[in-house]
């Protein structure tokens, strides 16, 4: 009779009583006992674990000290093994990551693939890892399927689940040691309902964790396998997941047998650490003595996997594995407490900071395996006595924390929370309030109808009970890229350990040696998420150079992003180069994208070679483009690049020249279609014309033919008002249309009441045309003024807001030009408006040229007098210009016999300021007069 | 006694159950409570086989266990209990059950309205008696709250936030000092609360901002927020539970087909999801879409088919009463229902057929009639 004979009989009886017959139920109940028996009887010692279970970690520490195994087999992806040695330099929790961007053997749509396995301090696997790595002669063998197999065995669906909000892990697939949870929702619901708890972590804590915290090794093992077996037996049969679980078990046992055969290790000195679920396995391969089967480990695909450590956090683990918020933190706190209380000395990797002073070792009493299950199943769980001081501490702290977060809580609340916690524990049948009871009590007493700050009371309780712990990957464990970045940022005194935002000030004039740092920061800015590095002052654009820069650097907080950059290359420059190259070669790339890449290559990487390569690609893309949507962007960028090259290089790069000639030919070809196509906007056509006219001289010097453009304009027959205006402007630019004709056409438009409503669109066209024909600026001001003067209010008023909006959004760079021109045209003062006449010919007034020459504007004053007194130079200039103008008599001062006395007079047309000035300083005037007239006194 | 009342209070309706529970209760009872906290919980949430009782106790309030526990524990502590939540989430029903289980009296209720005065909370005078005999304890009319204080039982205050702030603040001294003084009297002028006295108030979260609670009063109440039930299973149970009760009350012999119940629950779930994703108030129905609303719809449909139909509940009738109850604003609500009917129900009736087809037809007609 085996160890559990009595228990088995008892369960059989129970099954009979409940189910009426010893049928299915007894099979499940006794089967569970069989599983326990089998797992415990295996030659290779199986250590069943559950994730985030302090009891597991504690039992593991005890067992390792007791048994001192030579080989530890661990249920973890076998290809992650090299990473474990690097845990030493990290602050837990961190996650082991396998990452693959270039897939071979998986559908492209799955990529990038990522597997993460988080490691926390309060876990059995960490104990095993720490023991194995720090004890000489102990071998740690990971036996679970590789990351590649995770995806090979993945059901045929998109593997990337939507990312969680606190996703330090991104959208990776999580693997964990000891996943132990009911496999279907109803069972879990049932357990929670009858356990009178809210969520799984609470159930586990109350019914397994607490009873097991002080249990001996046998009890621990038996109970864990029993629970694993329960979930294994109560599961939906058709679940894919189980097949994968069984495959994994086959895999692990095969690997272990292979290892034992290869090394000849003594199974009695080995320990197999696996989830309790797998400990209760019934696959044929189970056990060292199992008969060989035809299970074959499939080869990995050719996918190139990269490995690294990334920082993890309790909240990331909770959200990835569907645990209740705060449960991992509470487990960690429970573990710390249990360690202190039990006096077990946990293992920790050397070099890793862990402040716990181990207590004295308790004597190891060899235990004889006995049936511990019967007691566990029949007795109510024993509980810790009430730790009153701890509860009081919590109550006081939560009130303080709540107050700091905007709640109006006081000592009275602390008392109420204390009382309520105890009452709640009482009504829930617990001798001692658990953290969950305390949390409920705090919510009841402190939370009112609204949350005043960012965090509610529930969250504050989580913070109080341990809070989220965020891991950190040590310098040595980082990929070369991250190490390189930190090394290069050293001159700034940047502390990579700090998670807070670090403000960096760079005075590049005073300390030019910081220039490389600034360069690096700009590259990081380009490559990393928005808040990782953020310039507060300073900018980087072509033709600009900051003298001082100020940065907010938070690389500590974005460690994961930096580490993942490390999967792409060895330095940030290499990563940027790859990304730029990829961006211009992808199928959807446009010429504008390529020009942007060129710009970035110049800004961030420097050096001609790479920029030239990207530029050549831009030429190809432009030549292949059939759409002109990006024309404004292309124009803006190529102008900037040309300006850059002209100022910095002796000659334009070859690709620039080709770009201009290709663009000239390309846009000439596309112009007639663009003018009529409905889906091409005025702005695009204007940008094309802008390109054609502003690059014209360069293009012509490189062998293009202007006739092509003239023909293209002649072929264009636009129909919409905006484009018609553009066409006129283009014709003006080409010299086909004179300004007078243009003016006439506009006047006709304004005279025609049927066209007036669409006149604003013509105007928009003209404004856009300034890109192509800057010489039209005075004319555009004239047309706008004319429109303001003549358009009826019904058309003008609704159009004004549109005009402002359009100018702002579509032609912001043209507005200053217009305003400058308007400033030149219109008088600056109110008084000037009365006498102002427009400089252009108005239908009623004389033309501008005639007006000025007629002398009406300049009818007197010192200049006129001076000119009248000495007509010879003026006559000579007039003769040179071929102008036959006659002198007119001066109306004011010129008529007076004594010029000097006229200035002193207060009559009409006098210049009192001039007179006053001359009176104060008569010497100057006297000298001038002496020179001119030969001795007249003032 | 139950037969003579249109609606018996919980302590009368479940008197026998409460008696039985009291007889077997051996747990510690706070103050003058009639049941221990665990038994109160059992009474409200019903028994399980694992409780090992000789008889079954039906579940009376459906919702998260922890809400009930927190509520009971609050009543055993020094503070008042404020149940807050959307209309129709069962706040008042929970308050009634708790009062019935704890003190066997759930009728000491003050209804908060804009017209509630301090007299309704403290005391008022029988004017003719005052004229005849002068002011004395005999001529004083105590409010339900004062009665609850004198008897050491639970007093209830419904819709606390509907009454004005000065009236609300009269509760502050009652909740902290636990006595009411009567300055008009020379002696015997203080009414002290007996142990066991506490207040269960309810407040409607949709009324927030009408008469906000002062922070002094907030401090004296523990808030328990009751969410709208969105779990389909428990919602089905609530609806079935309340409807059965209703059918019994009306002596109606009519079967509630499970498929129709599913349709009702599904359509409410859809409409709730639509309301949650609506951008503005115009995009969501005015109704809170609570469980009580569902019961109302079903009740309406049952009564309609019982008195005007052929005594069987049909999908058409259900659709008609659903549209009738939810379309409160025209045209906003009608437009939403119209969109829902044609965007969701129509494809579903094509796909699933069955009662959905009748539901589609009935709803269409009802919308057409109202438009």
Q: Which CATH number do you get for residue B147? A: 3.40.50.300
Regarding whether A491 and A458 lie in a shared domain, the answer is: no
pLDDT band per the 50, 70, 90 thresholds, residue A373: low
Regarding whether A151 and A53 lie in a shared domain, the answer is: yes
Sign of CA dihedral A594, A600, A601, A602: positive
Q: How many CB atoms lie within 10 A of CB A341?
A: 14
User: For B125-169, what is each residue's pLDDT tens digit?
Assistant: 999 999 998 899 889 999 999 999 999 999 999 999 888 888 888
Regarding whether A180 and A131 lie in a shared domain, the answer is: yes
Q: Is the confidence at residue A781, as pLDDT, over 80?
A: yes
Q: Is the confidence at residue A842, as pLDDT, over 70?
A: no
What are the structure tokens assigned to A812, written together? 């912001």
Regarding whether B237 and B222 lie in a shared domain, the answer is: no
CB contact under 8 A, A445 and B222: yes
- Select from B188, B205, B226 the last residue of a domain: B226
Chain A environment of B78 (Cβ under 8 Å): 416, 419
Contacts across the A-B interface (CB distance below 8 Å): 66
pLDDT at B110: 93
Regarding whether A51 and A24 lie in a shared domain, the answer is: no
- Select from A441, A464, A487 the last residue of a domain: A464
Regarding whether B140 and B25 lie in a shared domain, the answer is: yes
Stretch 406-425 of chain A: residues touching chain B, C-beta under 8 Å: 408, 410, 412-413, 416, 419-420, 423-424
Torsions phi, psi of A570, nearest 5?
-95, -30
Of B66, B76, B225, the CB nearest to A423: B76
Query: From CA A313, how far away is CA A310, in angstroms rounded?
Result: 10
The stretch A50-58 carries a mean pLDDT of 86
pLDDT band per the 50, 70, 90 thresholds, residue A364: very low
The stretch A916-920 carries a mean pLDDT of 81
pLDDT band per the 50, 70, 90 thresholds, residue A898: very low
Chain B environment of A408 (Cβ under 8 Å): 215, 218-219
Torsions phi, psi of A466, nearest 5?
135, -40
CB contact under 8 A, A423 and B73: yes
pLDDT band per the 50, 70, 90 thresholds, residue A155: low
The whole-angstrom distance between A761's CA and the closest CA on chain B is 36
Task: Pick from A421, A422, A445, A452 the residue to mutate for testing the B interface (most B CBs within 10 Å).
Answer: A445
Regarding whether B120 and B239 lie in a shared domain, the answer is: no
State which H helix or E strand residue A682 sits in. helix A682-694
In a domain, A323, yes or no: no
Regarding whether B11 and B124 lie in a shared domain, the answer is: yes
The whole-angstrom distance between B333's CA and the closest CA on chain A is 29
Stretch 434-493 of chain A: residues touching chain B, C-beta under 8 Å: 440-441, 443-445, 447-449
pLDDT band per the 50, 70, 90 thresholds, residue A361: very low
pLDDT at B111: 92
pLDDT band per the 50, 70, 90 thresholds, residue A619: very high
Q: Check residues A333 and A590 and name the one with the higher pLDDT.
A: A590
Q: Check residues B74 and A359 and name the one with the higher pLDDT.
A: B74
Q: Which domain holds residue A497?
A: 478-565
The whole-angstrom distance between A193's CA and the closest CA on chain B is 9
Range A300-330 burial, b when 16+ CB lie within 10 A, else e: ebebebbbbbbbbbbbbbbbbbebebbbbbb
Regarding whether B267 and B140 lie in a shared domain, the answer is: no
Mapping DSSP to helix (H, G, I), strand (E, B) and coil, where does residue B181 land? Answer: strand
Residue found by looking up tokens 């200049």 in the block = A863
The whole-angstrom distance between A460's CA and the closest CA on chain B is 17
pLDDT band per the 50, 70, 90 thresholds, residue A381: low
Chain B environment of A428 (Cβ under 8 Å): 69
Regarding whether B183 and B288 lie in a shared domain, the answer is: no
Regarding whether A127 and A220 lie in a shared domain, the answer is: yes
In a domain, A251, yes or no: yes
Regarding whether B199 and B86 lie in a shared domain, the answer is: yes
| Least confident range of A379-383, A541-545, B177-181, B227-231 | A379-383
Quick check: A516 contacting B, CB < 8 Å? no
Q: Is the confidence at residue A380, as pLDDT, over 60?
A: no
Of A416, A426, A427, the CB nearest to B78: A416
Q: Check residues B281 and A316 and name the one with the higher pLDDT.
A: A316
| Least confident range of A107-121, A837-851, A871-885 | A837-851
In a domain, A611, yes or no: no
Query: From CA A104, how far away is CA A85, in angstroms rounded?
Result: 28
Quick check: A427 contacting B, CB < 8 Å? yes
Q: Which domain holds residue B162?
A: 2-226
pLDDT at A910: 58
The domain tally of chain B equals 2
CB contact under 8 A, A445 and B41: no
Q: Is the confidence at residue B201, as pLDDT, over 90?
A: yes
Q: Check residues B202 and A122 and name the one with the higher pLDDT.
A: B202
- Select from B192, B211, B226 the last residue of a domain: B226
Chain A environment of B76 (Cβ under 8 Å): 423
Q: How many CB atoms lie within 10 A of CB B27?
A: 13
Regarding whether A733 and A799 lie in a shared domain, the answer is: yes
- Select from A505, A534, A565 the last residue of a domain: A565
Closest chain A CA to residue B213: A449
Regarding whether B265 and B210 lie in a shared domain, the answer is: no
Task: Give how far Cα A101 sits from Cα of A75, A158, A162, A175, A890, Å.
Answer: 25, 15, 18, 19, 88
Chain B environment of A427 (Cβ under 8 Å): 37-38, 41, 69, 72-73
Q: How many CB atoms lie within 10 A of CB B187?
A: 7
Of B73, B215, B224, the CB nearest to A424: B73
Of A416, A427, A449, the CB nearest to B69: A427
Quick check: A432 contacting B, CB < 8 Å? no
Regarding whether A128 and A74 lie in a shared domain, the answer is: yes
pLDDT band per the 50, 70, 90 thresholds, residue A735: confident
Regarding whether A906 and A806 lie in a shared domain, the answer is: no
pTM over 0.80: no
pLDDT at A359: 39
Task: Pick from B48, B51, B66 the residue to mutate for testing the A interface (most A CBs within 10 Å).
Answer: B66
Regarding whether B83 and B64 lie in a shared domain, the answer is: yes
Of B48, B76, B84, the CB nearest to A449: B84
Do the beta carbons of residue A471 and residue A334 sit within 8 Å?
A: no
- Select from A565, A598, A633 the last residue of a domain: A565
The stretch A908-932 carries a mean pLDDT of 76
pLDDT at B23: 93
The whole-angstrom distance between B38's CA and the closest CA on chain A is 5
In a domain, A308, yes or no: no
Do the beta carbons of residue B120 and residue B99 sit within 8 Å?
A: no
Do the beta carbons of residue A347 and residue A131 sit within 8 Å?
A: yes
Regarding whether A484 and A401 lie in a shared domain, the answer is: no
Sign of CA dihedral B244, B247, B249, B252: negative
pLDDT band per the 50, 70, 90 thresholds, residue A399: very high
Regarding whether B163 and B23 lie in a shared domain, the answer is: yes
Residues above pLDDT 90, as percent of chain A: 9
Chain A environment of B73 (Cβ under 8 Å): 420, 423-424, 427, 441, 444
User: For A794-828, what is each residue's pLDDT tens digit?
Assistant: 878 887 887 788 777 777 778 888 888 888 888 88
CB contact under 8 A, A198 and B84: no
Closest CA to A150 of A58, A201, A75: A75
Regarding whether B152 and B123 lie in a shared domain, the answer is: yes
pLDDT at A367: 41
Mean pLDDT of chain A: 80
Regarding whether A871 and A924 lie in a shared domain, the answer is: yes
Chain B environment of A440 (Cβ under 8 Å): 66, 69-70
Of A408, A429, A444, the CB nearest to B222: A444
pLDDT band per the 50, 70, 90 thresholds, residue B209: low
Q: Is the confidence at residue A159, as pLDDT, over 70?
A: no
- Select from B226, B254, B275 the last residue of a domain: B226
Query: From CA A871, how far away is CA A854, in angstroms rounded?
Result: 17
The domain tally of chain A equals 6
pLDDT at A896: 43
CB contact under 8 A, A448 and B78: no
| Least confident range of A515-529, A664-678, A870-884, B37-51 | A870-884
pLDDT at A372: 61
Q: Is the confidence at residue A847, as pLDDT, over 50?
A: no
Regarding whether A209 and A150 lie in a shared domain, the answer is: yes
Give the DSSP letter of residue B252.
-
| Least confident range of A655-659, B140-144, B168-172, B230-234 | B230-234
Residues above pLDDT 70, as percent of chain A: 86
Mapping DSSP to helix (H, G, I), strand (E, B) and coil, where does residue B345 land? Answer: helix
Chain B environment of A412 (Cβ under 8 Å): 219
Regarding whether A789 and A776 lie in a shared domain, the answer is: yes
pLDDT band per the 50, 70, 90 thresholds, residue A181: confident
pLDDT band per the 50, 70, 90 thresholds, residue A355: very low
């Amino acid at each position: 009779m085996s160890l559990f004979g009595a228990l088995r009989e008892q369960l059989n009886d129970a099954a009979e009583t409940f189910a009426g017959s010893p049928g299915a139920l007894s099979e499940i109940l006794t089967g569970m006992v069989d599983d326990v028996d089998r797992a415990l009887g295996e030659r290779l010692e199986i250590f069943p674990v559950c994730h985030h279970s302090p009891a597991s970690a504690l039992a593991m520490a005890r067992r390792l000290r007791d048994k001192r195994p030579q080989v530890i087999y661990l249920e973890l992806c076998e290809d992650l093994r090299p990473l474990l040695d690097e845990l030493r330099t990290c602050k837990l929790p961190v996650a082991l990551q396998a990452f693959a961007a270039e897939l071979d053997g998986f559908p492209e749509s799955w990529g990038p693939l990522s597997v993460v396995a988080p490691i926390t301090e309060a876990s059995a696997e960490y104990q095993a890892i720490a023991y194995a790595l720090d004890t000489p002669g102990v071998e740690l063998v990971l036996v679970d399927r590789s990351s590649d197999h995770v995806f090979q065995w993945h059901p045929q669906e998109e593997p990337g689940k939507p990312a969680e909000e606190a996703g330090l892990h991104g959208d990776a697939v999580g693997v964990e040691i000891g996943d132990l949870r009911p496999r279907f929702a109803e069972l879990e619901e049932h357990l929670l309902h009858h356990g009178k708890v809210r969520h799984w972590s609470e159930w586990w804590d109350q019914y397994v964790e607490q009873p097991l915290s002080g249990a001996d090794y046998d009890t621990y093992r038996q109970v864990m396998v029993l629970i694993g077996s329960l979930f294994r037996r109560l599961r939906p049969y058709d679940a894919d997941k189980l097949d994968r679980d069984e495959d994994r078990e086959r895999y692990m046992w095969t690997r272990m047998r292979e290892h034992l055969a290869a090394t000849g290790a003594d199974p009695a000195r080995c320990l197999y650490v696996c989830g309790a679920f797998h400990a209760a396995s019934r696959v044929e391969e189970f056990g060292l003595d199992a008969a060989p089967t035809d299970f074959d480990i499939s080869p990995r695909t050719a996918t190139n996997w990269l490995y690294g450590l990334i920082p993890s956090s309790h909240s990331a683990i909770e959200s990835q594995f569907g645990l209740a918020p705060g449960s991992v933190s509470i487990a960690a706190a429970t573990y710390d407490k249990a360690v202190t209380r039990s006096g077990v000395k946990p293992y920790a990797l050397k070099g890793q900071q862990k402040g716990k002073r181990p207590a004295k070792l308790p004597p190891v009493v060899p235990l004889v395996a006995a049936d511990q299950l019967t007691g566990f199943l029949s007795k109510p769980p024993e509980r810790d006595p009430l730790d009153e001081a701890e509860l009081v501490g919590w109550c006081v702290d939560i009130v303080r924390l709540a107050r700091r977060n905007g709640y109006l809580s006081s000592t009275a609340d602390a008392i109420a929370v204390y009382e309520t916690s105890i009452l709640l524990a009482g009504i829930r049948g617990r001798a001692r309030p658990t953290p969950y009871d305390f949390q409920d009590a705090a919510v009841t007493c402190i939370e009112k109808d609204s949350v005043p700050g960012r965090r509610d009371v529930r969250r504050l309780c989580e913070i109080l009970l341990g809070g989220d712990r965020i891991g950190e990957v040590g310098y040595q464990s980082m990929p070369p890229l991250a190490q390189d970045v930190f090394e290069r940022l050293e001159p700034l005194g940047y502390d990579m350990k700090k998670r807070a935002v670090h403000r960096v000030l760079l005075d590049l004039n005073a300390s030019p040696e910081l220039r490389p740092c600034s360069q690096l920061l700009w590259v990081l800015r380009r490559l990393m998420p928005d808040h990782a590095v953020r310039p507060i002052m300073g900018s980087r654009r072509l033709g600009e150079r900051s003298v001082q820069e100020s940065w907010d650097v938070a690389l500590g907080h974005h460690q994961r992003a930096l580490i993942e950059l490390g999967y792409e290359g060895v330095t940030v420059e290499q990563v940027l180069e790859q990304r730029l190259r990829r961006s211009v070669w992808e199928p959807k790339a446009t010429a504008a994208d390529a020009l942007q890449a060129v710009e970035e290559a110049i800004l961030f990487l420097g050096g001609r070679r790479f920029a030239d390569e990207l530029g050549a690609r831009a030429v190809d893309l432009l030549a292949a483009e059939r759409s002109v949507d990006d024309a404004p962007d292309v124009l803006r960028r190529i102008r900037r690049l040309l300006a850059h090259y002209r100022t910095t290089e002796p000659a334009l790069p070859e690709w620039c020249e080709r770009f201009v000639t290709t663009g000239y030919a390309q846009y000439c070809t596309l112009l007639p279609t663009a003018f009529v196509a409905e889906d091409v906007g005025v702005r695009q056509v204007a940008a094309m014309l802008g390109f054609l006219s502003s690059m014209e001289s360069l293009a012509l010097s490189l062998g293009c033919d202007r006739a092509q453009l003239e023909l293209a304009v002649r072929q264009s027959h636009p129909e919409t008002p905006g484009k018609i205006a553009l066409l006129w402007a283009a014709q003006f630019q080409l010299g086909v249309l004179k300004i007078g004709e243009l003016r006439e056409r506009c006047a006709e438009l304004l005279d025609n009441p049927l066209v007036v409503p669409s006149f604003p669109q013509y105007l928009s066209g003209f404004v856009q045309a300034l890109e192509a024909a800057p010489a039209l600026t005075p004319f555009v001001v004239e047309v706008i003024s004319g429109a303001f003067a003549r358009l009826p209010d019904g058309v003008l008023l609704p159009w004004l807001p549109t005009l402002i909006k359009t100018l702002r959004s579509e032609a912001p760079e043209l507005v200053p030009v217009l305003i400058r021109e308007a400033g030149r045209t219109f008088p600056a003062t109110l008084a000037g408006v009365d006498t102002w006449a427009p400089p252009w010919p108005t239908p009623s007034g004389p033309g501008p040229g005639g007006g000025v020459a007629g002398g009406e504007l300049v009818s007197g004053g010192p200049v006129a007098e001076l000119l009248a007194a000495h007509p010879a130079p003026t006559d000579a200039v007039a003769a040179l210009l071929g102008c036959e103008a006659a002198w007119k008599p001066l109306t004011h001062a010129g008529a007076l016999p004594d010029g000097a006395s006229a200035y002193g007079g207060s009559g009409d047309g006098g210049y009192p300021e001039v007179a006053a000035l001359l009176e104060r300083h008569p010497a100057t005037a006297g000298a001038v007069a002496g020179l001119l007239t030969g001795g007249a006194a003032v | 006694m139950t037969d003579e009342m249109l609606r018996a209070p919980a302590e009368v309706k479940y008197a026998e159950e409460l008696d039985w529970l009291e007889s077997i209760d051996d747990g510690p009872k706070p103050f003058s409570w009639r049941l221990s906290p665990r038994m109160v919980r059992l009474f409200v949430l019903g028994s399980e086989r694992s409780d090992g009782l000789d008889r079954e106790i039906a579940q009376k309030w459906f919702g998260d266990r922890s809400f009930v526990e927190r509520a009971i524990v609050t009543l055993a502590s020094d503070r008042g209990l404020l149940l807050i939540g959307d209309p129709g989430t069962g706040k008042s029903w929970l308050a009634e059950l708790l009062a019935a289980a704890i003190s066997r009296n759930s009728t000491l209720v003050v209804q908060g309205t804009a017209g509630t005065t301090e007299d309704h909370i403290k005391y008022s005078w029988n004017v003719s008696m005052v004229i005849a005999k002068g002011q004395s304890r005999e001529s004083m009319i105590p409010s339900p709250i004062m009665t609850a204080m004198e008897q050491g039982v639970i007093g209830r205050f419904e819709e606390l936030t509907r009454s004005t702030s000065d009236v609300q603040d009269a509760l502050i001294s009652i909740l902290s000092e636990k006595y009411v003084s009567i300055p008009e009297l020379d002696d015997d002028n203080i009414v002290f609360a007996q142990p066991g006295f506490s207040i269960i108030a309810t407040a409607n979260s949709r009324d927030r901002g009408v008469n906000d609670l002062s922070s002094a009063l907030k401090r004296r109440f523990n808030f328990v927020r009751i969410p709208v039930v969105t779990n389909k299973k428990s919602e089905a149970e609530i609806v079935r539970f309340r409807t059965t009760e209703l059918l019994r009350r009306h002596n109606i012999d009519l079967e509630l087909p499970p498929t129709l119940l599913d349709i009702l629950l599904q359509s409410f779930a859809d409409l709730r999801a639509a309301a949650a994703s609506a951008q503005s108030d115009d995009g969501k129905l005015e109704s809170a879409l609570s469980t009580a609303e569902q019961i109302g719809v079903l009740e309406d449909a049952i009564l309609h088919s019982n008195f005007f139909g052929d005594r069987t509940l049909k999908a058409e009738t259900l659709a008609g009463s659903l549209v009738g109850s939810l379309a409160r604003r025209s045209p906003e609500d009608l437009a939403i229902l119209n969109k829902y009917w044609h965007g969701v129900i129509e494809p579903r009736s094509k796909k699933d057929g069955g009662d959905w087809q009748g539901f589609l037809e009935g709803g269409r007609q009802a919308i057409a009639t109202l438009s």
